[in-house]
Amino acid sequence: MDFKLEIAKILEKQTNMPMEDVIASIETPPELDLGDFAFPCFRLAKELKKAPPAIAQEICEAITPPSFVDKIEAKGPYLNFYLKRDAYAKGVLPQVYTLGEDYGKRDIGVGQYVVIDYSSPNIAKPFHIGHLRSTVIGHALYNIFNKLGYRSYSINYLGDWGTQFGKIITAFERWSNKDEVVAGGIDALVKLYVRFHDEAEENPKLEDEARAWFLKMEQGDEYALNLWRLVKDISLLDYKKIYDLFEIDFDSYNGESFYNDKMTPVVEEIAAKGLLIEDKGAMLVDLEEHKMPPCLILRKDGGTLYATRDITSALYRKNEYNFAKAIYVTANEQNLHFAQFFKVVELMGYKWAKDELVHVPFGFMNLPEGKMSTRKGNVLLMEDLIDQTIEKVRETIEEKNPTLEDKEAVAQQVGLGAIIFNDLFNSRVKDVEFSWERMLSFEGETGPYAQYTHARCCSVLEKASDVDYSDADVSLLTSDEEFELIKTIATFGDKIEEAANKYEPFVISRFIIAVAQGYNKFYHNNPILKTDEDLKKARLYLTHCVRDVLASALGILGIKAPSKM
């Protein structure tokens, strides 16, 4: 039973407010003595020309409490509903138990596509910590929208076109060969790129040579394109090592190059609609009326820009998938770029652009002052971060649980989980402060803490493996700790929907911590295995539900839930 919805139905009749407004108004009080649901009467004051406390009192007197409500009280401007704890447990937990990993799913997006553009590293450069945020935020959103019934479609919009490839080809032709590059992988490509810039400082003609090679690529020169494909293949091989560790795959790896032969008709359409103007040889769309700088479409030499490709890709994706939303997960420093190209698409007459094109910006990942182990400069490479994190977790496991089976697998799951959770715990627009100590702590609001709570649930259930609790009487779960925990679990579906509406995975992260903290409080204050048989079964049933909800919620973020730690 959806208790909030049932209360909303009662209030709808009494207030004549639209159902969606009633549901949006119902609050969860911070303290148990204020009720389980509260309805503020402020917004009714103007219409009824009465004080909110008087309105609350009148509604209270007019309502006959339904069978699942213990009492209704008017306290000041609020109408507070106190639920019967036994009825609440019986209304929530069997649904959780039966649905398992499907609990919390909704069907509001059935039959609709959501296209999510995320990760998108630049080819020929190593995958570093700067790519982490886009990758884990985008993947979490992918899972969140799938939980709501949408068909999420993931796109890794690779940076695989531009003059930098002319530079790499130039360096390849002068100082390397295919065997060396294949053997050296991404590191060999980085060395070539760095050497090109070092040599170009002494010999500027190398820049002309690089532009000439890229022109050959644009003109379809097969030799140049074969070298470009080699660079792309080597890069993807390196990136997929990281993606495979996180168990992330993409429905499409179509990068910038995919749109190279699709931009001319789009530019012609922009011009035909009277939007394209010339300015000192360049072609642009004037956005002054919309309080933005002009959006450049073509350079003086006729070359295209990021905006040209992004406009083209938006139109292509709309035609290909007929999406309900197209979400772009990139750093907040690109806010202007997305605002500009979204506006151009809208001015082209595509009104869907206003509501369906969504930029999901995020803050920076800030490293500590001290340099961590990296292969080059002050950029922390993802491979280094992962290796060091897993090693630190491995050391902790050796210290705390040296007899643990599959220590390597658990260390990897906990290490990767710590990295993801650390990134997703706060609002995405905030900068993330990187801290080994905080990220890897088994206490507090961390990934390892949440995973440890799941493992604790598994341990409790394993110790009671001979107990059949499938028919437990959950109406016995009426203590404060039990009731609060059940109430938290019951919000899972709402939290998934909230996370989607706000494009904020941290809503799920905070839910996970609330469930973990609630369970640990319950665990410490309520004996599970050493109590009478009926209550033991009920508490095992609750533990089973918590285990499943934690595993499902962690899975949304892309985090594994180990059964032992």
Active site residues: 125, 128, 131
For residue 370, CA distances in Å to 132, 378, 380, 434, 492 come to 20, 10, 12, 11, 40
Q: How many Cβ atoms sit within 10 Å of the Cβ of residue 271?
A: 14
Instruction: Report the run of H or E that residue 351 belongs to, with start and end.
Output: none
Q: Among 558, 544, 553, which residue's Cα sits nearest to residue 450? A: 553
Residue 384 near residue 374 (C-beta atoms within 8 A): yes
CA 363 vs. chain centroid, Å, equals 14
Indicate the Cα dihedral angle 209, 212, 218, 219, nearest 10°: -140
Q: Tokens 């303290």 — which residue?
A: 31
What whole-number distance in Å separates Cα of residue 106 and Cα of residue 479?
30
First to last CA, the chain: 35
**What strands, in cross-sheet order, belong to the sheet with 357-362?**
151-155, 113-117, 325-331, 357-362
What are the residues whose beta carbons fall under 8 Å from the beta carbon of 285, sequence distance 6 or more?
270, 275, 276, 277, 294, 295, 297, 344, 347
Does residue 290 contact residue 195 with C-beta atoms inside 8 Å?
no
Whole-angstrom distance, CA of residue 495 vs CA of residue 553: 10
Tokens of 392: 């630190």
Whole-number Cα distances in Å, 305 to 185, 267, 359, 523: 29, 11, 19, 58
Beta-bridge partner residues of 361: 330
- In the structure, how many helices (H) and strands (E) does the chain have? 22, 12
Residue in this structure with the two tokens 């508490």, named with its chain if needed = 539
Q: In angstroms, what CA-CA distances link 225 with 188, 191, 217, 222, 277? A: 19, 21, 6, 5, 33
Rounded CA gap, 488 and 219, in Å? 60
Task: Give residue for tokens 């009487």.
Answer: 473
Distance CA 143, CA 151 (A): 10
Is residue 38 within a helix (H) or strand (E), and if so which, with residue range? strand 37-40
- How far apart CA 559 and CA 552 sit, in angstroms, is 9
Coil, helix or strand at residue 297? strand
Phi, psi of 247, deg, nearest 5: 55, 50
Return the amino acid letter for 74: A
Among residues 187, 189, 150, which one has the least CA distance to residue 170?
189
The H-or-E segment that residue 331 falls in is strand 325-331
Within its chain, how far is the Cα of 289 from the centroid?
Answer: 34
